[in-house]
A = this chain, B = another copy of it.
Amino acid sequence: MSVSIKEVAKLAGVSVATVSNVLNQTKNVRAETKSKVEIAVSQLKYQINPLARNFRKGESKVIGFVVSDLSNYFFQNVAIGLERSLSNYGYLVALMDSKESKTLEIENVKNLLALSVDGLVIATTGEDCCYLNLILENHDVPVVFVDRKPFGFKSDMVLSTNNEGAYLGIKHLIQKGHEKIGFITSRNDSTMGERIEGYRQAYLEAGLQVNENHILTGDNNVSISQNLLLHGIAYTQAKRLVEAGEVTALFAGNNLSSIGVYNYLREANIKVPEEIAFLTFDDSFWLSMTTPSISAIKQDPDMIGSVAGQLIYERISDKTNEQPDRILRIPTCLVLRSSV
């Protein structure tokens, strides 16, 4: 239906090889020949057939982004950064939502491979990613992990400075006079491990003893953001800690937990920050619209996505690249509002 390179060659009176060479600037072509080709191209309104080229070059120009939970705004912003960065290089990003299900995640990776993506960016649902070794065995497809650190599979990763961020937040709470700070999170993975490490460091530095009962992690049986029970496990944890009079401040380990904690504080009519101070990891616009507005450790998901895009592009462009796997950390910072 559409015009092919052959017809361009015929009209221009040259070979298809020459047409291809001017189109792709793969070889030097005499100016005169070149212009003949260009005229033919524009006369015929020729457009290269990307399907044929992809086939020939063995690439699809699409990168798959497998997201643990697409209804979580954190990952949505990662997607935004990823798309912007990759579109610079002429790549499309195809989204796959795993809805916090490992089974679906594996399914998604398989489907992406079956449609032959050139690379994979994964925010994994669970940390065990052994399955990838088998699935990727016969595929030369680079992988970059974002936000969550996998085990059982080697690849580049882009993560937040979880440790430093939490350290910063806890340190601030301590400076405000808090010595009993509850750390509440709905997950229990290496990311949370890093944040808890930051908590410990701040305590250590201040010469305070960590009370292990103040660190409450979830069971990893997480529901997706969209279906979030507004109370959930973080709600219960906050309630327990506060009612027992155990703490003077609450630190939510991630954005989902912050919702549960906030809802408890609000429903229990607790004065924030007077009675209980509140700080959360992961910023969002709604934190400035609550009463009181909520202070947060701000991550940069957009940057995480765009850096992941660069990494995957590097790996694709330079397949011989034998450089070891990298872990890149994207800075976090403290955004102060009224809850601390």
Contact = CB atoms under 8 A, between A and B. Distances in A.
Given A70-B79, A76-B76, A93-B94, A286 B288 contact: no
A92 B62 contact: yes
A322 interface: no
A71 B60 contact: no
Interface string A73-93: 100110110011001001011
Contacts of A324: none
Chain A interface, >50% SS class: mixed
A110 to B, nearest CB: 10
Given A55-B52, A55-B55, A58-B51, A92 B71 contact: no
A177 interface: no
- Residue among A64, A116, A226 facing the most chain B CB atoms (10 A cut-off): A116
Contacts of A288: 230
Nearest to A64: B92
Interface stretch (A16-24, A184-192, A236-244, A258-266): A258-266
A55 B82 CA distance: 27
A54 B83 CA distance: 23
Given A83-B96, A93-B94, A51 B45 contact: no
B93 A138 contact: no
A111 B288 CA distance: 37
Contact of A87 (B96, B138, B259, B291): B96
B62 A71 contact: no
B50 A115 contact: yes
A61 interface: yes
A138 B228 contact: no
Interface of A: 1-2, 45, 47, 49-52, 54-55, 58-62, 64, 70-71, 73, 76-77, 79-80, 83-84, 87, 90, 92-97, 111-112, 114-116, 138, 140, 226, 228, 230, 259, 262-263, 266, 285-286, 288-291
22 contacts: A45-B138, A51-B58, A51-B60, A51-B116, A52-B55, A62-B115, A64-B92, A70-B79, A71-B77, A76-B76, A77-B226, A83-B95, A87-B111, A90-B115, A92-B112, A92-B115, A228-B285, A230-B285, A230-B288, A266-B291, A286-B286, A290-B291
